[in-house]
Chain A
Amino acid sequence: MLILKKFLRDLPAVLGALIVLAAVILAIFPELLVDNVDRINRGNIIMRLKPPSADMPFGTDDLGRNIFERVIVGTRSALTISLFVVVVSMIVGVPLGLIAGYRSGWASSAIMRVTDVFLAVPQLILAIAIAQLLGRGQISAMIALAVTYWPFFTRTVYAETQKVRASLFVEALEGYGASKTRIMLFHILPNVAAPVIVRATVGMGFVILTAAVLGFLGVGAVPPAPDWGLQISEGRKYLPEQWWYATFPGLAILLLVLGFNLLGDGLRDLVDPRLRRS
């Protein structure tokens, strides 16, 4: 419980946690703030491009849809994409990093060379290319992001594993004749878990951002999905007069990414105060 107390003293991290928590709740229960979730894609030309008002706090878009409701409902797809991408990347990247870091030999070298190749190409550009190949849609955006994101986990886990591998308790276990699988799963994995969790948290924010970029560039979600990136892309045409159209989805991205980053930094401090960043 000491850890919880320490965490609660870190104000930015608590703020981040609250933002993330709010986003998760809204993603699961958008009904809390949206009257009729099924209706958000239905336009109303008469109400077209109305500025923010008490009734519609974020205004309406070019089809007269309530931007506030669309931003709220968009939370779900943003979180779904990032969760999927991060989880898949972890499932692929963590075991590869463990193997590469703990074993030595050609398999280990091969894994790290492939990882290095992926990391050498800017992730966004690679993701755009893959998404294009797979055809437009949210699913292909998710796959493209996952395919390009796992090397980050492999790198982190690899570096951490190398550190833990050199420690005496691993050597002792080898001395007692423990199998490599046992050492990797029961001893190295828990010891590298903390930095992986930090990486994953910050990664959630990062993926939300990249997913929005894909949506913005038109290789992600397809209209009329209430995707934030897509909304900004559509609203861009109406800048600067109808500023609210592009601004509020943008703010939503900003807020959620900020939330994940603050939370991730807080977790990092909790895991290792020496890594504290200014």
Chain B
Amino acid sequence: MTAPLLETVDLKKHYGGTRKLLQRPKPLVKAVDGIDLQLAPGEVLGLVGESGCGKSTLARTLLGLERETEGKILFEGKDVGGRGASAARAIRSDIQYVHQDPGAALDPWWRIGDTLHETLKIHGVTDKAERDARIEEMLLAVGLNDSFRRRYPHELSGGQQRRVGLARTLSLRPRLVILDEPTSGLDLSVQATVLKLMLELRAQYDLTYLFISHDLSVVERLCDRVAIMYLGRIVEIGAAEQVFSKPAHPYTQALLASAPTLERQEAGKPIEGDPPSPTNRPDGCPFHPRCPMAEAACRQSVPDLADVAAAHRVACPPALRTLTPQ
């Protein structure tokens, strides 16, 4: 493996837990709790998890919008962590973000062109001709013609808004793009064209994607590697084929069994219970109350990721034992 583009070491983001003057104490929420992640240049890493698993917090922390509580963030081997929001955004300008709902991410009072200009201005592109050129190039790259500059956000369809969102982010020439649920709420036919566009753009601009989604079928198609998150921790990570064909963690198995496929799934009991909230996490392995494989040790300590195969790691000792006989 080449040197990672982005690396996190034991990254944590906790909220609350402290008591401020004249305020009620807020419960401690461990939204992100010890994430080790490496992104190789040019790869697409899928980050999958249900609501409340901390994937959005992880994205915000990587971007620098939230300051990490603990741990390291390295970009090309350089430590870029431990900074407040504006300093972190400045040093991490190679990392950019595409919003889940790019329509709502556009100021309703601004024309598309003005928004695109502004984004570049924020990043210190002062030459107007240069900005114009970049915007034209990007609109073209995402398949919109120049007339879109004069339109207002509400005049665009969902697919077009997403294209504008991509153009906006890519005009900043990022190296790593965090895509937050880029296809949610889109119709099937539009979703397909947006996914195709994202793959084309990745090849054209040498991008690395961190692809956050809960739609497993999309992740399977698009991603090189997949990380499965549960309550602030990565429980399984590996090559997409590996994880989808031989899921090792019981949660991953349950997740895959629950994804509605085009065949009716009669067999297999669906996973019981609801995703627990991060405010009251169980001790030990966070998944043990819902886990069919849970044993006494699972209640005691939080398991770490361990190799189950080449480039496939899982945080579940019972699963490891069955899959890798001594």
Contacts and interface: CB of A to CB of B under 8 A. Distances in A.
Instruction: Judge A-B direct contact (beta carbons within 8 Å).
Output: yes
Interface of A: 167-169, 171-179, 182, 186-187, 190-191
Given A187-B107, A190-B109, A179 B86 contact: yes
A182 B119 CA distance: 11
28 contacts: A167-B104, A168-B99, A168-B100, A168-B104, A169-B106, A171-B99, A171-B105, A172-B97, A172-B99, A172-B105, A173-B107, A173-B122, A174-B85, A174-B89, A175-B63, A175-B65, A175-B96, A175-B99, A176-B119, A176-B122, A176-B168, A176-B169, A177-B90, A178-B122, A187-B107, A187-B109, A187-B110, A191-B108
Contact of B122 (A168, A171, A177): A177
A174 B65 contact: yes
Interface in B229-256: none
Interface string B110-133: 100000001100110000000000
Contacts of A178: 118, 122
Given A169-B105, A176-B89, 12 more contacts: A168-B105, A169-B104, A173-B122, A174-B89, A176-B97, A176-B119, A176-B122, A176-B123, A187-B107, A187-B109, A191-B108, A191-B109
Contacts of B105: 168-169, 171-172
Contact of B96 (A171, A176, A191): A176
A-B residue pairs, 8 tightest by C-beta: A172-B105, A177-B89, A168-B104, A175-B97, A169-B107, A178-B122, A190-B109, A168-B105
B101 interface: yes
A169 B109 CA distance: 11
B210 to A, nearest CB: 14
Secondary structure at chain A's binding surface: helix, strand, loop or mixed?
helix
B73 to A, nearest CB: 16
Given A172-B99, A175-B63, A177-B123, A186 B89 contact: no
Interface residues of B, number: 27
A177 B89 CA distance: 6
B4 to A, nearest CB: 23
Given A174-B65, A175-B63, A176-B96, A182 B107 contact: no
Contacts of A177: 86, 89-90, 93, 122-123
Contacts of A175: 63, 65, 89, 96-97, 99
Contacts of A187: 107, 109-110
B118 A186 contact: yes
B167 interface: no
A240 B207 CA distance: 86
Contacts of A172: 97, 99, 102, 105-106
B32 interface: no
A169 B122 CA distance: 15
Interface in B54-86: 63, 65, 85-86
A175 B179 CA distance: 13
A163 to B, nearest CB: 13
Nearest to A190: B109
A250 B232 CA distance: 68
A178 B99 CA distance: 15
B166 interface: no
Nearest to B88: A177
B22 to A, nearest CB: 9
B223 interface: no
Contacts of B89: 174-177
A171 B89 CA distance: 13
A234 B99 CA distance: 66
